């Protein structure tokens, strides 16, 4: 009586290939002669291997379901030659079952997702601070305009590969003392696709895409800085075969400014004032970053900073709300104005005499020099403590 391969593997007749493979893997690991202890394990193992050889192959399975002989030696005939080459045992199937391999990978699709792309975009400080929509020229793979991604010349289409007969891979059989060892590799003729393009598109040579430069508009939010990236979904390279495009990442690089120095959300600017202005007090006008924008109102292009009398060199005045807009919250940082007092280096006789008189009035003709002590570190304080200071 012919063997029931479905019953042998313990699966239903409408079982999926994954269910058939899983059942065979479990039984093969249980019944393998190297690990099984039952007396009939060897015979059952051969029966399971024969059942899987038939049910895992779509052509043999179709023959078996229609009542034909898929092995050419009678249904349920078993392995008359045991584990020898004549018995037809596929040792590769056992290895695949043990280690999760596949007896057939099947044809690969020509349509694949494109790769992501990373480009750099240079910005001026004002553009990064206040935001801008800026054009960006990118060179990526785009859909072939001639074949629209099919890869075939107009009026032509892919045909089934004659080498692998549409399977996408080919199997090589090597005889060994364990039986036939089969190795499966992508078909060298079609590259694993199962089809070949006899008349490739002359524009893309069958790839379905071409290289092209294009310009896109990138919206830059206010408050970005160097290193920030903007993610543009589906703006990367179009995939082979006209597949979906990958993503585009735009990395921002902010150029240094000739006047302002940025520190986070704050701007820093240095203003030099004469010694007399620092002593007597004055008001200075400072340019704002808004002055770099083309449509800024005149009242926003500069601010006035009051310099109190007696201002020392290095004094910093913070102007609230004139810094860089915060990227992920409302408000702006400060504009820090550092005042540097300039000592005159070129004096005529009259100016020198006036300064000499001022020094005499302030009793500074022979000023005492005060040396400010530096802060002592941890070891210095410990040394002083042991010394009783």
d(CA 149, CA 239): 9
201 marked among binding-site residues: yes
3-state SS assignment for residue 22? helix
292 marked among binding-site residues: no
The residue assigned the tokens 């999926």 is 16
CA proximity to 49, closest of 99, 105, 93? 93
Tokens at 327, concatenated: 């990227």
Q: What is the CA radius of gyration of the chain?
A: 41
Report the greatest alpha carbon distance in the chain: 130
CB 209 within 8 Å of CB 141: yes
Q: In terms of DSSP bridges, do strands 266-274 and 261-263 run parallel, antiparallel, or are they unpaired?
A: antiparallel
86 marked among binding-site residues: no
3-state SS assignment for residue 273? strand
281 marked among binding-site residues: no
144 marked among binding-site residues: yes
Q: Within a 13 Å sphere around the CA of 16, how many CA atoms are in the beta-carbon half? A: 3
DSSP code string of 67-109 = T--SSSS-TT---TTTTSGGGT-BHHHHHHHHHT--S---PPP
Strands, DSSP E only, in the chain?
A: 117-123, 132-143, 159-160, 169-176, 179-186, 195-196, 209-220, 229-232, 248-254, 261-263, 266-274, 282-287, 302-307, 315-319, 335-342
126 marked among binding-site residues: no
Q: Which residues are annotated as a binding site?
A: 144, 147, 161, 164, 187, 190, 201, 204
Q: Annotated binding site for Zn(2+), which residues?
A: 144, 147, 161, 164, 187, 190, 201, 204
């Amino acid at each position: 009586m012919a063997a029931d391969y479905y019953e042998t593997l313990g699966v239903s007749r409408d079982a999926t290939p994954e269910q058939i493979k899983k059942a065979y893997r479990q039984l093969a690991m249980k019944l393998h002669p190297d690990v099984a202890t039952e007396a009939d394990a060897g015979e059952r193992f051969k029966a399971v291997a024969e059942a899987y050889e038939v049910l895992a192959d779509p052509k043999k399975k179709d023959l078996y379901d229609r009542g034909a002989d898929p092995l050419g030696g009678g249904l349920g005939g078993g392995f008359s030659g045991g584990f020898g080459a004549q018995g037809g045992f596929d040792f590769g199937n056992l290895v695949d079952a043990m280690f999760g391999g596949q007896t057939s990978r099947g044809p690969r699709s020509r349509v694949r997702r494109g790769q992501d792309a990373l480009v750099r975009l240079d910005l001026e400080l004002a553009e990064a601070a206040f935001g801008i929509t800026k054009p960006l020229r990118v060179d990526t793979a785009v859909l072939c305009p001639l074949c629209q991604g099919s890869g075939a010349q107009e009026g032509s289409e892919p045909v089934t590969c004659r080498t692998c007969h549409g399977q996408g891979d080919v199997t090589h059989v090597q005889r060994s003392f364990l039986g036939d060892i089969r190795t499966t590799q992508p078909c060298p003729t079609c590259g694993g696709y199962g089809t070949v393009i006899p008349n490739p598109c002359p524009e893309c040579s069958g790839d379905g895409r071409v290289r092209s430069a294009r310009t896109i508009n990138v919206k830059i939010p206010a408050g970005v800085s160097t290193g920030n990236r903007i993610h543009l979904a589906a703006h990367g390279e179009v995939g082979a075969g006209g597949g979906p495009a990958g993503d585009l990442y735009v990395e921002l690089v902010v150029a240094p400014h000739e006047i302002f120095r940025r520190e986070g959300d704050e701007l820093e600017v240095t203003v030099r004032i004469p010694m007399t202005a620092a002593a007597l007090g004055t008001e200075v006008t400072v340019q704002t970053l808004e002055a770099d924008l083309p449509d800024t109102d005149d009242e926003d292009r500069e601010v006035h900073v009051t310099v109190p009398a007696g201002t020392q060199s290095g004094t910093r005045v913070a102007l609230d709300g004139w810094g860089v807009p915060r990227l992920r919250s409302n408000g702006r940082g400060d504009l820090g104005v550092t005042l540097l007092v300039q000592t005159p280096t070129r004096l005529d006789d009259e100016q020198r005499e006036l300064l000499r008189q001022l020094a005499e009035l302030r009793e500074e003709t022979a000023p005492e020099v005060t040396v400010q002590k530096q802060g002592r570190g941890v070891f210095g304080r410990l040394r002083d403590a042991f010394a009783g200071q």
